[in-house]
Amino acid sequence: MATWNGPLEKIDDYRWRIPKSYKQGMRVPGIIYADADMMKQIRGEQALEQVANVAFLPGIVNHSLAMPDIHWGYGFPIGGVAAMRVDDGVVSPGGVGFDINCGVRLLRTNLMKDEVSSKMKQMMDALYNSVPSGVGSKGKIRLKGGELNEVLRNGSRWAVEHGYGRPDDLDSTEENGEMAGAEPASVSGRAKERGLPQLGTLGSGNHFLEVALVDEIHEPDIARAMGINEVDQVMLYVHCGSRGLGHQVASDYIKEMVRAMAKYGIDLPDRQLACSPVKSPEGQAYLSAMRGAANYAWANRQCITHWVREAFCRVLGIKEVDAGLELIYDVAHNIAKIEEHQVNGQKQKLCVHRKGATRAFPAGHPEVPGKYAQIGQPVLIPGDMGRASYVLVGTEQAMKETFGSTCHGAGRLQSRSAAKRHQSGRDVLESLQARGITIRAGSLAGLAEEAPSAYKDVSSVVGVAHNAGISKIVARTRPIGVIKG
């Protein structure tokens, strides 16, 4: 793969700049959060060229940003954050990605390692049987005519009102799991056809369910506010998105915006960056469809949460009220949002694109739920399936520098085919089992593609985000059971 040889200025140990002068047409410089070791690896692919390309987008303010899990994506880099003025800027479906509102949620329990470790086999079987997963998986929910439109409008609330989960879950979800401004009429018939049978499914690829143990607590007071009390406490992660519905919304609007760009006189280095003015009919239609897909994804994670709770309690023979299983938080990491931020000392309305990046709002921000007002918004960073995942909180520094954003995961190191050449699915399975992790996977090939060695070490990624001050580490967890779609 070609090494990127463009200009890179070191700002400090964790920040690098691509000057605006690198390419004619860049409207702002690029800023990348990484340490020197990571930067060597990042330069080995074309992600930095993508950071520069994003800087071409009309209305972009401050910087084209890349979080420490940056890697080569399509159009935008993964780990990319870009904010455009609502008044004269653009929205780009490629800046959200195909899996709209791919995101992660974390549930806490009242249980400790000893209470589950002897039952992990049954636990993972029960979870695997309760939550449909894998390529093209179909759900157990049969939506009646018109109900899908309610899902698109009401997201998690639809799920809770239909018996999937608890009313409290809504307060612990970004946007309450119900993003305003969703318009089902903007979602195509094809997208709806794909969405109908797939609600309540995990899907495939890097999506997973994980049973984890608290491994280290860095900030005991903040952790306690989230119900993370002690080492070896059992936790559960759910990572998935909007399935075929979201993929179809993205491709529908990329197609439409490629067509509209000539009309708006926009010329870009990569067609995958296709965009339209935020205020144009195309931009507004995309945003209203994207919000529908985001709500679908929240309803999806909400339904899965319900089955996870049922299966978990059934295996252990306990009641939900005794198990705890409260939702700590749910974050979206592929999304575009209209937010207010300071730009050159003035408050401005911006369309913030987070593609493989997590919102990280500080304590006291009105969007942060009341119970976290003192600590800041929980940020959930899943790592690979063998090592660790992290819980962090948002900071004031993130508001100042990154439009309240941070990283979203470990970031891939190896391509899927390289990962498969490196290790067989069987080898990956055995090495994870040897580390005491119970695995259930739809396919061995899929397991090989998702091998821990294919990812950067999440600890160093999170370390950069923490040291740069754009989020603060609260606790670390380690996996003991993983379901891969």
Partner 1 sequence: MKRFELIEHTADMGLVAYGHDLAEAFANAAYGLFSIMADLGRVQEKESRQIELKEDDTEALLFEWLNYLLYVFDVEMLLLKRFDMERFDGSGLKAICYGEKYDPSRHRLKTGVKSATYHMMKVDRENNRVQVILDV
Active site residues: 408
Q: Which of 143, 183, 182, 178 is CA-nearest to residue 157?
A: 178
Number of residues that bind partner 1 (CB under 8 A): 51
Among 78, 84, 187, 441, interactor with partner 1 by CB under 8 A: 78
- Residue labelled with tokens 């399975």: 429
Structure tokens at 431: 């090495």
Among 4, 22, 56, 98, interactor with partner 1 by CB under 8 A: 98
The interface region with partner 1, picked from 14-22, 73-81, 289-297, 313-321 by CB under 8 A, is: 73-81
Among 6, 19, 134, 324, interactor with partner 1 by CB under 8 A: 134
Beta-carbon contacts of 140 under 8 Å, excluding residues fewer than 6 positions away, are 132, 200
Least distance to partner 1 from the beta carbon of 203, Å? 6
Q: Tell me, residue by residue from 180 to 219, as one string, x for binding to partner 1 by CB under 8 A and - for no binding.
A: ----------x--xx--xx----xxx--------------
Restricting to residues 252-291, which ones interact with partner 1 according to CB under 8 A? 254-255, 258-259, 270-272, 274
Q: Which is nearer to partner 1, 122 or 188 (CB)?
A: 188
For residue 99, state whether it binds partner 1 (rule: CB under 8 A): yes
For residue 250, state whether it binds partner 1 (rule: CB under 8 A): yes
For residue 73, state whether it binds partner 1 (rule: CB under 8 A): yes
Distance separating alpha carbons of residues 88 and 109, to the nearest angstrom: 47
For residue 321, state whether it binds partner 1 (rule: CB under 8 A): no
For residue 314, state whether it binds partner 1 (rule: CB under 8 A): no
Least distance to partner 1 from the beta carbon of 97, Å? 7
Under 8 Å between Cβ of 302 and 159: yes
Among 284, 422, 445, 460, interactor with partner 1 by CB under 8 A: 445
For residue 364, state whether it binds partner 1 (rule: CB under 8 A): no
Please give the backbone phi and psi of residue 104, each rounded to the nearest 5 degrees, phi first. Answer: -140, 145
For residue 35, state whether it binds partner 1 (rule: CB under 8 A): no
Among 108, 247, 291, 301, interactor with partner 1 by CB under 8 A: 247
Among 129, 342, 374, 417, interactor with partner 1 by CB under 8 A: 417
Which stretches of the chain bind partner 1, using CB under 8 A?
Answer: 1, 45, 47, 71-75, 78, 94, 97-99, 134-136, 138, 190, 193-194, 197-198, 203-205, 244, 247-248, 250-251, 254-255, 258-259, 270-272, 274, 412-418, 442-443, 445-446, 449, 485
